[in-house]
Amino acid sequence: MAHSIGNGSPPGLFSQLTRRQLVQNGLLGPGALAVGSLGLPRAARALDEINFWATGTLDIGDDGWRTFAYDSGVKVEFTDNGNDPGPVVAKLAAGNANDIYDVAGLQGGSEKELARRGLIAPWDISQIQNYASVWQWAKDIPYLTHDGKVYGIPTVINADSIIAIRDKAGSVDSYGVIFDPKLKGKTAMEDAWINSVIFTAIYLKNSENAKIAEPGNLTADELGLVMEFLIKHKRDRQFRTFWNGWEQGLQLLANQEVWVMTGWEPIVYAARMRGVDCYYAVPREGYEGWANNTILLKSAVVRGRTKAAHQLVNALFSGFYGCKLGLLRGYVVPTDNNVAYATAHANAFDPAGVRKLADHVKQKFAGKIYWQNTRPDNFQLYETWWQRLRNA
């Protein structure tokens, strides 16, 4: 359904692009938006600027942020924080992050600690009208609040499990496949305890009847049990490697060096684009749920950026951001506003695709979920054990 934008546009670039592509790519500037081509409500105005320091997962690119700015009135200066919660917390606590950024985004679990240390401020939900549209189970993530106040806003949400190459691994429905001796040397897990420990704990709890209460927040004894299990399998050469970062994870699959591994769902999409017939398993033990949460830095309040910060978060749930993020990365912003926005702007986004993505994630969360926690009570013990595993 390709049709050119603008009447009488000269042949060339514009004539080769659909209107949908133009909006998705942010090529439609404020002028086009102001005349109602997107049906957006407001004309150009002075923009509040927010320094948003977050994992690349939350990034919708310069063109996306341009459209976002026009739509919301908040100009976002996005800086990637590297996605590793440890250094992010360190930079907030002892470094300069509070001097330069207003809002941050990182994997959930650190909120309580940051709040206790006075490094972040609670959100005023009454200033975020779209918060009402956020799916309730996302609001109920246990790590979002401290002392009854909301410190983390679940901005991107998903559930992780196992990636399997179809003709090599067959039908996979359990994390047990990662530890299956028949696949020795052909399995992998991520070199990050925030994912690999909880996956193993979920498996041991549900399939090996291990005494584990909460896989996302292990006691010292439970952690020892999990880590000894991993170390034993590592010494038995069960794992091809512990992968690190998106690119390595993708390469392992694309080169078929591993046949099954715990990993992120977007890697499946990327691997398929590179010709690998792989799929994301539905594990009978349950998924590892994770949320990338938005937090308000204390210094933003001091600098008088509170209103703009709330405006930013409100806009994250207004629909455009969710549609754009889903399109770019396959991630879901937990609100039905995405579908509503796509329906209202079918010339820009595919409503059926947006709905399918949302339903897919909702389906995952209909079953057993164990929430990822980047700052469990014994997190320093986690670090120690993980180093021991690396050295094993």
Partner 1 sequence: MSFDAIVRGRTSGGRLLFTTITALSLAIMYAPVLYLLLASLNPDAQLGLVPPSRYSLKWYFALLDDGRLAGALRESALVGLATAALATPIGLSAALAYRAMTRLRGVFLLVILSAMFVPGTIEGLGLSATLRVVGLAPSWVTIAIGHLLWTLPFAAVVSLIGLSAVRPSTIAAARDLGAGPIRAFVDITLPLMRTNLISSFVFAFLLSLNEQARAYYLAGRQNTLPLYMFGAMNSGASPTIYAFSGAIIVFSVAVVALVFAGLVGQQSRRPRQAPGETSY
Would you tell me which residues interact with partner 1 (CB under 8 A)? 51, 55-57, 59, 62, 77, 79-84, 87, 90-91, 94-96, 99-101, 245-247, 251, 254-255, 266, 270, 273-275, 329
Give the Cβ contact number of residue 222 at 10 Å: 21
Question: CA–CA distance from 103 to each of 52, 92, 238, 291, 301 (Å)?
Answer: 5, 11, 41, 16, 10
Q: In angstroms, what is the minimal distance from the CB of 264 to partner 1?
A: 9
- Whole-angstrom Cα Rg for the chain: 22
Q: In angstroms, what is the minimal distance from the CB of 102 to partner 1?
A: 11
When the beta carbons of 60 and 212 are compared against partner 1, the nearer one is: 60
Q: How far is CA 60 from the centre of its chain?
A: 12
Q: In angstroms, what is the minimal distance from the CB of 204 to partner 1?
A: 28
When the beta carbons of 160 and 285 are compared against partner 1, the nearer one is: 160
The residues that bridge with 78 in the sheet, in sequence order, are 52
CA distance 195 to 185: 20
When the beta carbons of 14 and 229 are compared against partner 1, the nearer one is: 14
Q: In angstroms, what is the minimal distance from the CB of 244 to partner 1?
A: 9
User: Quick one: 31 exposed, middle or buried, by C-beta within 10 A (0-12, 13-18, 19+)?
Assistant: exposed
When the beta carbons of 128 and 333 are compared against partner 1, the nearer one is: 333
Nearest Cα to 161, choosing from 140, 185, 177, 148?
Answer: 177
When the beta carbons of 86 and 351 are compared against partner 1, the nearer one is: 86
When the beta carbons of 127 and 251 are compared against partner 1, the nearer one is: 251
CA distance 44 to 29: 10
Task: Say whether 380 sits in a helix, a strand or coil.
Answer: helix
φ, ψ (nearest 5 deg) of residue 183: -110, 25
When the beta carbons of 59 and 113 are compared against partner 1, the nearer one is: 59
Q: In angstroms, what is the minimal distance from the CB of 270 to partner 1?
A: 7
Q: ∠260-213-392 over CA atoms, to 5°?
A: 50
Task: Say whether 26 sits in a helix, a strand or coil.
Answer: coil
